[in-house]
Structure 1
Amino acid sequence: MTLALRLENLSKTFAVGKPLIGPPKAHVRAVRPLSLEVAQGETLGIVGESGCGKSTLARMLVGLIPPSTGTIEIEGKALDNADATAFGKLIQYVFQDPISSLNPRKSIRKILEVPLKRLHGMSASERETRIREIFDSVNLREEFLDRYPHEFSGGQAQRIGIARGLAANARILVLDEPVSALDVSVQAQVLNLLAALKAEYGLTYLFISHDLAVVEAVSDRVAVMYFGAVVEVGRADKVFSAPRHPYTNLLAGSAPVVGRPLTPPEAKGTELPDPLNPPPGCAFAARCPRASDICRTEDPALTKMGEDQFAACHHPLDP
């Protein structure tokens, strides 16, 4: 297996209430130390509740924010956050809201020219050829190049966002809720486009979403995050059909399915822990029906629990 991406002890801590002079009042660990490997050509789905650290992780991967600890390796090369060009050539971000991610004052042609100029130093004729190729690959007409972002529908704007990622010639795309703002029929078109582009260009995807059905359909493997940590990793079909971590089981059972009654809500007092005062031991213990004393004192490590399946749990579910 050839690795496209390797994360080693990657974490992010934010200072809270920092005065002009002196130390901050507190710190929030948005992402706790995690390690992951993603193979070339793979789609890794990343799921979890809002606030679990998915988007913070994604922003670290593309160099938008520096990690507090750990390393990011792309194709065996450790990346320095100060080297924005190296990040841009290898990994690109496709944003959740396609309209707001595009500069409203620039035409689509000008937007797509930026990575070709800054990252690859292409001449005007080379840029024009490359832009036409990219636009054709995302099934958009060439006449759209001289229009502005507000003139497009959400589906068209998302295709432009994908085209911008392809313009940098990156081999890894971080897709942050790429279809959540689109109508269901348009979602299918964009997902089919992403599958075709992956096959054509040999891309690797990190697919972040709240929609578990979409994640299961498009992902080879899934990483489940809770309170800034990865609590389960495995093949997409196994993670949702035979979860080993109780949180994954709760997440899968909470997803609406046509013809199935909604899961009753959890009891009161089972909200996410306070990030300013995290509990000792397993962060999910207060919500877990299997929790014991060890869960409230020792944080479980991510442990192999079957073929290609890992979970961080003292009392894992039976397969």
Structure 2
Amino acid sequence: MMPALKVTNLAKTFPMKPRFFGPTPPGVRAVRPMSFEVAAGETLGVVGESGCGKSTLARMLVGLLEPSEGAIQIEGRALDNANPAEFGKLIQYVFQDPQSSLNPRKTIRQVMEAPLKRLHGMAQAERDRRISEIFASVNLREEFLDRYPHEFSGGQAQRIGIARALAANPRIIILDEPVSALDVSVQAQVLNLLAVLKSQFGLTYLFITHDLAVVEAVSDRIIVLYFGAVVEIGKAESIFANPRHPYTKLLADSAPVVGKPLKAPEQKGTELPDPLNPPPGCAFAGRCARASDQCRTIEPDLKPMGDDQFAACHHPLQD
């Protein structure tokens, strides 16, 4: 079956400004070449600590950033980054901060009409009908349409952001930390809404977050990123219960759980490597108790670790 989304050797390097004296420093490799597929109707979770490349990956997938190399295919179609309208009809983005993602000078009706006019060329009557349908699906009253973004709570603004994404009638929605800026009680409401909308509209999700409890609950499969690369990928029910990469286990052990004593923090000097001076071999070797000379010199490839689970590790954890 054709995947909804196929990514092949996708990478992003941000160039550095030339210096007045001396050589120009190498670019920052925010995302190293990665390949994966997302099946139609699937929710693929993407996790990793800040700076691992999650948002850069998301912005490339929706055409907000041009990849340095690699290819993106949606339903078998290679998308040309010079034609953003083709991206918009197939894939949409829900931003992390619901308030700042909405234009403060436009009413919600104007915000909602933009994708209907620019992507689908709908007439006024058809736009009104479509907006009414979408607002009903996200449990918002139509009287909100003539208000401005600052008049809404965070939960209401995020529902509007989701409604705007739905207006384009996409196949895939990228959810970039969609509940991290919301209160816990509102988070549950938005997550339940997303589950209903996925079933109602036949959507495929990429769910980007640093909240492991959330991503495990909503995802079918999970990708773990570290220093811009995929270090592990597998089914949601097994990847944290039976991690194969030491970094995945570190993430799972670091997540706070009620009734579980907090672990001591990592030792000083165990942050992400310097992106301007990346280390040879495995980028996680400096934080890994299992690291060997092989890890510090040879970068590991993703290898199968059982049923539908892969890890990029020379010394993977065992069952």
- TM-score, L = length of structure 1: 0.98
- Distance, in Å, in 2 between the alignment partners of 1:310 and 1:65 is 28
**Helix, strand or coil for the counterpart of 1:17?**
coil
Count, aligned residues: 319
- Distance, in Å, in 2 between the alignment partners of 1:201 and 1:121 is 21
- Distance, in Å, in 2 between the alignment partners of 1:89 and 1:29 is 29
* 1:1-319 matched pairs, under 5 angstroms: 1-18=1-18, 24-319=24-319
- Residues 219-254 of structure 1 show CA distances to partners (whole Å, capped at 9, x for unaligned) of 000000000000000001111100000000001000
**Helix, strand or coil for the counterpart of 2:244?**
coil
* 1:15–1:24 CA contact under 8 A, matched in 2: no
**Helix, strand or coil for the counterpart of 1:16?**
coil
Shift of 1:83: 1.0
Cα RMSD after superposing both structures: 1.4
- Distance, in Å, in 2 between the alignment partners of 1:115 and 1:47 is 29
* 2:2–2:76 CA contact under 8 A, matched in 1: no
* 1:62–1:87 CA contact under 8 A, matched in 2: yes
Aligned sequence identity (%)? 75
- Distance, in Å, in 2 between the alignment partners of 1:19 and 1:88 is 38
- Give unmatched runs, 5+ long, in structure 1: none
- Residues 35-63 of structure 1 show CA distances to partners (whole Å, capped at 9, x for unaligned) of 01000000000000100000000000000
**Helix, strand or coil for the counterpart of 1:173?**
strand
Shift of 1:14: 0.4
2:247 is matched by which residue type in structure 1?
Y
Shift of 1:18: 3.6
- Distance, in Å, in 2 between the alignment partners of 1:309 and 1:279 is 26
Shift of 1:217: 0.3
- Distance, in Å, in 1 between the alignment partners of 2:190 and 2:287 is 36
- Would the alpha carbon gap of residues 268 and 23 (structure 1) be closer, same or farther in structure 2, given more than 3 Å must change? closer
Greater shift in the superposed pair: 276-285 or 9-18: 9-18
Shift of 1:305: 0.7
* 2:135–2:141 CA contact under 8 A, matched in 1: yes
- Residues 121-178 of structure 1 show CA distances to partners (whole Å, capped at 9, x for unaligned) of 0000000000000000000001111111000000000000000000001110000000
**Helix, strand or coil for the counterpart of 2:27?**
strand
- Distance, in Å, in 1 between the alignment partners of 2:291 and 2:276 is 22
- Distance, in Å, in 2 between the alignment partners of 1:157 and 1:193 is 14
**Helix, strand or coil for the counterpart of 2:233?**
strand
1:193 is matched by which residue type in structure 2?
L
**Helix, strand or coil for the counterpart of 1:26?**
coil
